[in-house]
Amino acid sequence: MKISDIKDPFVEARQQKGYAQVSDQDDPVTMMLRLKDVRKCAHNAKTFSSEDIPGRIVVPSEVNIRTTRQIPFEVDPPKHKGFRGLLDPWFKRPLEDDYKQKLHSIVDKLVTENLAGNSVEVIKEFSLVLQSRALTLLLNTPFEDSKLWISWGTHVFRSEGDALDGDKAQVLYDYLDEKLDEALANPSDDLFSVLLGAEVDGKKMSKEEAKGVLILTFAGGRDTVINAVSNTIAYLADHPESLQRLRDEPEIRGRAIEEFIRYFSPLTHMGRVVKEDTQVCEHAAKADTRISLCWASANRDETVFENPNEIVLDRKLNPHVGFGFSHHNCLGATHARQILSTLIDVFCEKVSTIDLLDAQDNIEHWDDFDRKVGYENLTVKFNKA
């Protein structure tokens, strides 16, 4: 077994029952584990709702640390469509040439800086820095803003050893209030101002709604991107032949990115609230209880994926749900894909091999299931090409 391997802890439960039950702060969760079930539940927004008390659909629940509704992902269709219609064009900007060039420059500079040194601790010195600097492009804010975001660490809601940290979350909320007030006083072309100036379904967006979009942007794309980047680096360090193959066959890089997302599944699962008594996998699901859509398990479903526990760099058919599925699929997916794509391009150009010096896994605990989601520490050395 290699250090970068990520095991599938859900295999037995998925094969035997198709679901599992875990406890979460006195509000238990029934996890859906099979790909088709996950997709069907994700698509059935009437029975499995995202619109409940703010924070409840997230697992672990965030009801104790926020009252602001995250938009659009805590809004059900049809209302969801108006918000998504407003946000999609903005979040697709990473496909524009100008954006790509700026992102390339950010990644190239960071990799080049770290080629000179002996070693780099990837989580805090590379992935967090990359995520924060890239976020300035997504928000269209000054590059310098990234320094403050980097100082917050890898989580905006969590601190070391604490599942959820209300004080820490408050730092983000205070920051967003301040930035939104600034944007109200002096509108610019950043996302803060764009949201405050926007109308959805003929109604002006409120400050609270804008804040909800921004909390999602900061929190949803933080540890997920950090884990995706860090896991990719660990894998390429463990598999120098794969880095060489990506260098030799640029045409497979797009498929490799989708395969990394499938295999790593940066977000383990996302919850829904059951709106009416129903059944999931022949198991009763009562109204006002929660289920979760376990992307990580679905992405290893052996009835769909051949060799699900291997990274097949050029996997042609890859119907993964690493970015979710249906209405609420990941708003930041275009940005995340562009970050990974740029990172691989720069590595292929500038890095010959990556030495893996030290790694400590980051394990999530869900009752009977321990799932590796990334690393607490990952120290590597980038060797010049």
Partner 1 sequence: MAKITFITQDNESITLEADSGSVMALAVENGVKGIDGDCGGVCSCATCHVHVNPSQVAQAGEASEIEADMLELSDNANEFSRLCCQIEITQDLDGLELTVAN
Identity of the residue, 81 or 104, whose beta carbon is nearer to partner 1 in the bound complex:
81
* Binds partner 1 (CB under 8 A): choice among 80, 158, 269, 320: 320
In the bound complex, what is the minimum distance in angstroms from residue 377's beta carbon to partner 1?
31
Q: What tokens appear for 125 in the block?
A: 């010195």
**Restricting to residues 27-46, which ones interact with partner 1 according to CB under 8 A?**
36, 39-40, 43
In the complex with partner 1, which residue's Cβ is closer, 254 or 308? 254
The distance of closest approach from Cβ of residue 254 to partner 1 in the complex, given in angstroms and rounded to an integer, is: 4
178: CB partners within 8 A, 6+ apart:
none
Of 84 and 158, the one with the shorter C-beta distance to partner 1 is: 84
- Closest contact distance (angstroms) between CB of 44 and partner 1 is 9
Q: Are 348 and 250 in contact (CB under 8 A)?
A: yes
- Note whether 304 binds partner 1 by CB under 8 A: yes
Whether the ω angle into residue 60 lies within 30 degrees of 0, i.e. cis, is yes
Query: What residues numbered 95-154 form the site for partner 1, per CB under 8 A?
Result: none
> 290 in the Ramachandran plot: left (φ > 0), alpha (ψ -120 to 50) or beta?
beta
60 versus 221: smaller Cβ distance to partner 1: 221
- State the Cα–Cα distance between residues 179 and 191, nearest whole angstrom: 10
Among residues 171, 255, 262, which one has the least CA distance to residue 219?
A: 171
324 vs 42: CA distance, rounded Å? 8
Site for partner 1 in 42-101 (CB under 8 A): 43
Contacting residue, 102, 319, 363, 381, with partner 1 by CB under 8 A: 319
Minimum Å gap between C-beta 282 and partner 1 is 20
Q: How far is the CB of 206 from partner 1 (least distance, A)?
A: 29
312 near partner 1, rule: CB under 8 A: no
What is d(CA 167, CA 169) in angstroms, rounded to the nearest whole number?
5
- Lay out the site mask for partner 1 across 243-282 (x = CB under 8 A, - = otherwise): -----------xx-xx------------------------
Closer of 69 and 320 to partner 1 (Cβ): 320
Which stretch in 98-106, 277-285, 324-332, 360-368 sits in contact with partner 1 by CB under 8 A?
324-332
Query: Is residue 182 involved in binding partner 1 (CB under 8 A)?
Result: no
Stretch touching partner 1 by CB under 8 A, among 13-21, 63-71, 230-238, 328-336:
328-336
Q: Which two tokens stand for residue 101?
A: 């060039």
Q: Which stretch binds partner 1 (CB under 8 A): 56-64, 212-220, 316-324, 370-378?
A: 316-324
Q: Confirm or reject binding of residue 306 to partner 1 (CB under 8 A).
A: no
283 binds partner 1 per the rule CB under 8 A: no
**Residues 171, 219 contacting (CB under 8 angstroms):** no
- Residue 303 in contact with partner 1, rule: CB under 8 A: no
Residue placing its CB nearer to partner 1 in the complex, 122 or 291: 291
First-last CA distance in the chain: 27
Spatial neighbors of 231 by CB under 8 A, at least 6 apart, are 4, 6, 260, 264, 266, 374, 375
Does residue 137 contact residue 107 with C-beta atoms inside 8 Å? no
Contacts of partner 1 in 330-369 (CB under 8 A): 333-334, 337
Contact range with partner 1 by CB under 8 A, out of 167-175, 188-196, 204-212, 323-331: 323-331
Strand (E) or helix (H) holding 352 = strand 351-366
Asked if 148 and 171 touch (Cβ cutoff 8 Å), the reply is: no
Contact between 335 and 277 under an 8 Å Cβ cutoff? The reply is: no
Considering the rule CB under 8 A, would residue 297 count as an interface residue with partner 1? no
List own/partner pairs for 107-112 with CB under 8 A and 24 or more apart.
107/134, 107/339, 107/342, 107/343, 107/346, 108/346, 108/350, 111/343, 111/346, 111/347, 111/350, 111/351, 111/382, 112/350
Binding interface with partner 1 (CB under 8 A): 36, 39-40, 43, 254-255, 257-258, 304, 315-321, 323, 325-326, 329, 333-334, 337
